[in-house]
Amino acid sequence: MTSWEVFFYTVQIFYMLYFFGLYMTYLLLNFMAVVGVFKYMNVSILDDIPKIDSDLEIPVSLLVPAYNEELTIVETVSSLLQLAYSKFEIIIINDGSADQTLALLLQEFDMVEFPEAYRDRLKTKHVRGIYISRRFRNVKVIDKENGGKADSLNAGINCTRFPLFCAVDADSILNVDSLERIIKPFYDDHTVIASGGTVRIANGCDIDRGYVTKVAMPGSLLPIIQLVEYLRAFLFGRLGWVPLNALMVISGAFGVFKKEVVVDIGGYLSDTIGEDMELVVRMHRVMRQKGRPYRISFIPDPVCWTEAPEDLASLGSQRVRWQRGLCESLSKNLSLLLHPRGGTVGWIAFPYMIIFEWIGPFIELFGLFVLALGFWLDLLSWNAMLLVMSVAIGFGVLLSTVAILLEEMSFHVYKKPWYPLVLMGAAIIENIGYRQLNSYWRIKGSLLWLFGAKQSWGKITRKAAWKVD
Amino acid sequence: MQNVQAYQSIFQSSINYLDRLAPKIFESISLSVVVIFLVIILVRLRLIFVQYHKKKFKQRWQPVFLASLYGEVELEGIRRPFAFKTFLHEWNHFTFKVKGESRVGLIALLENMNVQRDMEKMIRSSHVGYKIQALITLTAVASEKYWYLLEEAIESKNPHVSITAFGAMVETNPLRTFTEHSRTVVRRRDWTEVTLGKIFSRVIQNRVINLFSIELLGADDRDLTRLLKVLSVFRKFDNVEFIRAMITDRENPYVLAGVMELMWNPVFAPSLRAFAEHDNWVVRKQAARLIGRLGSTDYIPSLKKLICDSSWWVRYRAAESLCTLPGMSKEQLMMLLDEVNDRYGKDILAQVMVEKGMVS
């Protein structure tokens, strides 16, 4: 055996073990997600009983950070006002927008300056003024100097009245009952400190007055592939971790948190890009290290719709930002890794995130390089190379197929008869080019994090087609 | 040298093994994908069939349901549908849209189908969805004939099943439910307060709620904190002895705050002074709120003190009470605003005055 052969075969065994570990974790998550969805669907029949308010519902403050959102902000707030929930307030935080966001809000909702006894519990950039609507007494606007999304959310938290707050992106589209559904875990279990819900892609859907009225497939390939990706990520990647109480991400687009816990741990970190993930990981770390009982929950219902990027440049910038967020979240909370009190998060989810999500793209890239090298040195035949690639692709397709099946058996959001075929097609096509591009963006994100490039609000080009119509 | 050779041979055999294994893995993955895809197609076809069937079912049964509302149905001519669970689902939907006597005809229609055995089967099955569906039906039927089934279901370990059974019991006979199951409510910590509150809000008899409050006298602080909230849903609660016993015997601030939520009677006004000076902010907040609710003008000095409290919520509630107390004019409040030296007290009073529309 030559030294090249030893190197090549050692690498081969390493990769076999790596992929075995990855796929076994995926299978385990799949299994737990399937059980979770069916349990959830069993009790969903209770929705048949007419809804009455008991006056014991926990009031919620909706926080909407807005930066240059003149295109959608009025419609977003109008739709939030129609949410079916007994008691909530809406706080829009204008983060020093350079466009007409503030002016539009003041005009459309008949806002007047309000002498709020502002509690400075979390440090933020200077708050220039607080306004209240004369038409809707539960709508407020905080006008502050630009400080980023996390800083805006912290200012919003300072201004909230209620024990729970819900972070909503200004371009998120919710269902009328989204808030009611996402709050349920807080009723069922007093130790729940955060709750998230499934986000779906709004491209192609009919939207009227801020609500999805008809669900349809996007018109182009890129959002369809993202649709499959979202199905996989939310039904397995998130729901699967819930029984282990190891969910590490709650989407910034729509998530509910216990205010006192968030204030206790210092609020959102304003020097991060992935402030949503960082907050959840920090919640885990602090609660675990202090030995406090807690749960972070997730509901499989599609409660939030968001517009997916339709061009590669926007998609790339979004994925780079997500990867940087992941790197920051993990590196800032590294003490949770294998911590004696870390539990399932510290011993399973955190190592998984580091190995497969953080350094995973580098390992995959190196694997491709070694495959090419082996082929070039004649250590690997065409057949063997194809086989390795096929197994990797095949497993990806298998995971997507299970996600599509689960969607069909549970929520069945995409109703047209040919939609499953379209989704299956996308599940296969995404392996050719898209997955590799994703790995490239993730590597780029990790490198940008490593070399400390400047952060920003990370805007993507949105069409807001429903608004234009 | 021998070690190197042994290493090489183990290495080689493991590589050979993996090489043989890889095609098999690929084959099984491919097969799984094909099978799952076929299942997806089957699920989709089934769904199309179910939707068509439901539509037909609705067309067949909606006129019958409507006619039952007015007692215009010849019950003898109606047969039990084959898809009984679908029927039950539709029946539940329809029945919950109507109230009181309008349900009589619908219940007669259901009873005519000898549903007792179906209810037994569904409640005793292991399928949580079926159990809940049957219990929803029994909530609408509200007949003591099925009490034994509700008794079985209330003992279920699944909180959704047991609390739905409790709700059905309350709908059927509140007095009997609270006589027999007040202890169960205290014991079942897995029942959510919101759902209990919804059930309690349907109870209208003082006597029934008093039965429950007697059970609460023996509960521990943790259960009391949870259940006093539920009791507060019942706005007519006026058991002065119960409240007196609670504020005398209990020291837990959360229990005290919960009891104060039940105080609507002015006889409790004298006890507010101690609460307004309590060490715990939760009690002070509730005291500040209660002063406003009971309209006790004697406590204006206490409120003036409370608007400068260290807790934002105490300050806020005290300011709210000051603004709503009888006899507090806008001018008096403006004077008070000038008098207050504390910055936080001034801010909160100014805020609440704007909120209450006293100044623009």
Q: Tens of pLDDT along B162-208?
A: 999 999 999 999 999 999 999 999 999 999 999 999 888 888 777 88
Q: Tokens 């065409």 label which residue?
A: A382
Greatest alpha-carbon pair distance for chain B in Å reads 103
Are A188 and B192 a contacting pair at CB < 8 A?
yes
> Within 13 A of A190's CA, how many CA atoms are on the CB side?
11
- B226-262 pLDDT, tens digit per residue, is 999 888 887 777 788 888 888 888 889 999 999 998 8
Residue B4, pLDDT score:
64
Collapsed DSSP state (helix, strand, coil) of residue A193: strand
pLDDT in tens, A161-179: 999 999 999 888 888 889 9
Cα dist. A382→A10, A387, A388, A435, B127 in Å? 20, 8, 10, 22, 52
Using an 8 Å Cβ cutoff, are B278 and B253 in contact? Answer: yes
Which pLDDT does position B85 carry in this prediction? Answer: 87
Residue in B48, B129, B139 closest to A42 by CB: B129
Q: Which residues of B touch A45 (CB under 8 A)?
A: 129, 132-133, 136
Instruction: Determine contact, residues A248/A284, Cβ cutoff 8 Å.
Output: yes
Q: Cα–Cα distance between B350 and A116 in angstroms, integer? A: 8
- How many interface pairs between A and B have CB atoms less than 8 angstroms apart? 133
What region does A433 belong to: left with phi over 0, alpha with psi -120 to 50, or beta? left
Contacts of B230 in chain A (CB under 8 A): 56
CA distance B105 to B93: 15
Q: Which tokens in the block code for residue A410?
A: 């549970």
Residue type, A375: F
Task: State whether residue A22 is helix, strand or coil.
Answer: helix
> Stretch B279-289: mean pLDDT, rounded?
93
Q: What is the pLDDT of residue A89?
A: 96
Give CA–CA dist B8/B1, Å, rounded.
Answer: 11
pLDDT at residue B5 greater than cutoff 80: no
Measured from the Cβ of residue A465, the count of other Cβ atoms closer than 10 Å reads 16
Q: How far is CA B336 from the centre of its chain?
A: 42
In this structure, are strands A206-208 and A295-306 parallel, antiparallel, or unpaired?
unpaired
Q: Residue A198 forms beta bridges with which residues?
A: A302
Contact present, B257 and B238 (Cβ < 8 Å): no
pLDDT of residue B238: 78
Specify the pLDDT at position B8.
66
Residue B3 in this model has a pLDDT that exceeds 70:
no
Please tell me the predicted confidence (pLDDT) of residue A451: 87
Helix or strand (DSSP H, E) at A296: strand A295-306
* Better-predicted residue by pLDDT, B22 or B32: B32
Question: Which chain A residues are within 8 Å of B29, Cβ to Cβ?
Answer: 391, 394-395, 397-398
ipTM score assigned to the predicted complex:
0.82
Nearest one of B185, B167, B275 to B231, comparing CA atoms: B185
The nearest CA of chain A is from the CA of B101 a distance in Å of: 18
| Residue pLDDT tens, chain A, 469 long | 677 777 877 887 788 788 888 888 988 998 999 888 888 888 887 776 666 677 788 999 999 999 999 988 998 899 899 999 989 999 999 999 999 999 999 999 999 999 888 888 999 999 999 999 999 989 999 999 999 999 999 999 999 999 999 999 988 888 888 999 999 999 989 899 999 999 999 999 988 877 888 889 998 999 999 999 999 888 788 889 999 999 999 998 899 999 999 999 999 998 888 899 999 999 999 999 999 999 999 998 888 998 899 999 999 999 999 999 999 999 999 999 999 999 999 999 999 999 999 998 999 888 888 888 877 877 777 777 777 778 888 888 988 998 998 888 888 888 888 888 899 999 999 988 898 899 999 999 999 999 876 655 555 555 544 443 3
Query: Which has the closest alpha carbon to B247: B274, B208, B266, B223?
Result: B274
B36 → closest Cβ in A57, A395, A402: A402
Query: Does B29 reach chain A within 8 Å, measured CB to CB?
Result: yes
Contact of A85 with A54, CB cutoff 8 Å? no
- Residue B137 confidence (pLDDT): 93
Residue A141 forms beta bridges with which residues? Answer: A92, A131
pLDDT at B269 over 90: no
Angle between helices A434-450 and A312-332 in degrees, nearest 10: 50
Position A467 scores a pLDDT of: 44
Residues in chain A with CB shorter than 8 Å from the CB of B36 are: 398, 401-402, 405
| SS3 label, residue A104 | helix
DSSP character at residue A99:
S
Question: What secondary structure, in 3-state letters, does chain B show?
Answer: CHHHHHHHHHHHHHHHHHHHHHHHHHHHHHHHHHHHHHHHHHHHHHHHHHHHHHHHHHHHHHHHHHHHHCCCCCHHHCCCCCCHHHHHHHHHHHHCCCCHHHHHHHHHHHHCCCCHHHHHHHHHCCCHHHHHHHHHHHHHHCCHHHHHHHHHHHCCCCHHHHHHHHHHHHHHCHHHHHHHHHHHHHHCCCCCHHHHHHHHCCCCCHHHHHHHHHHHCCCCHHHHHHHHHHHHCCCCCCCHHHHHHHHHHCCCHHHHHHHHCCCCCHHHHHHHHHHHCCCCHHHHHHHHHHHHHHCCHHHHHHHHHHCCCCCHHHHHHHHHHHHHCCCCCHHHHHHHHHHCCCHHHHHHHHHHHHHCCCCC
* Lookup result for tokens 């004369």: A134
What mean pLDDT is predicted for residues B339-353? Answer: 89
Contact A67, A96 (CB under 8 A): yes
For range B98-107, the mean pLDDT: 84
Average pLDDT, chain B: 87
Give the closest-approach CA distance of B249 to chain A in angstroms.
26
Residue A41 to chain B, least CA–CA distance (Å)? 8
- Compare CB distances from B18 to A16, A57, A408 and report the shortest one's residue: A16
Mean pLDDT, residues B63-83 taken together: 81
Helices (H), A221-308: 221-232, 259-264, 275-290
Length of chain A: 469
CB B30 to CB A117 under 8 A? no
What confidence score (pLDDT) does residue B278 get? 92
Mean pLDDT of B279-288: 94
In 3-state terms, what secondary structure has residue A458?
A: coil
- Could A56 and B230 be called an inter-chain contact, meaning their C-beta atoms sit closer than 8 Å? yes
List Cβ neighbours of A183 (8 Å cut-off, separation of 6 or more): A57, A58, A60, A85, A164, A195, A256
At residue B274's C-alpha, the angle toward residues B269 and B280, to 5°, is 120
Cα–Cα distance for residue pair A321/B343, rounded to 1 Å: 43
- Residue A20 at interface with chain B, using a CB cutoff of 8 Å: no
Interface test with B, best of A12, A46, A140, A421 (most B CBs within 10 A): A46
The C-alpha torsion from A196 through A202 and A207 to A212, rounded to 10°, is -40
- CA A36, A41, A42, A48 dihedral sign is positive
Q: What is the pLDDT of residues A424-434, one digit of tens each?
A: 999 999 988 89
Distance CA B149, CA B138 (A): 9
Encoded amino acid at A300, one letter: P
Q: Evaluate whether A109 touches A139 at the Cβ level (below 8 Å).
A: yes
pLDDT of residue A456: 58
* Chain B nearest CA to A317, separation (Å): 32
Q: Distance between CA atoms of A417 and A319, rounded to whole angstroms?
A: 31
| pLDDT recorded at residue A465 | 47
Provide CB contacts within 8 A for B204, sequence distance 6+. Answer: none
Closest CA to A452 of A331, A358, A336: A331
Pairing assessment for the beta strands A127-133 and A139-144 based on DSSP bridges: antiparallel
How do residues A370-408 score in pLDDT, each as one tens digit? 888 877 877 777 777 777 778 888 888 988 998 998 888
Selected for mutation to probe chain B from A8, A26, A41, A54 (highest B CB count within 10 Å) is A54
Interchain contact B24–A (C-beta under 8 A): no
- Write the pLDDT tens digit of every residue in B118-173: 999 999 999 999 999 999 999 999 999 999 999 999 999 999 999 999 999 999 99
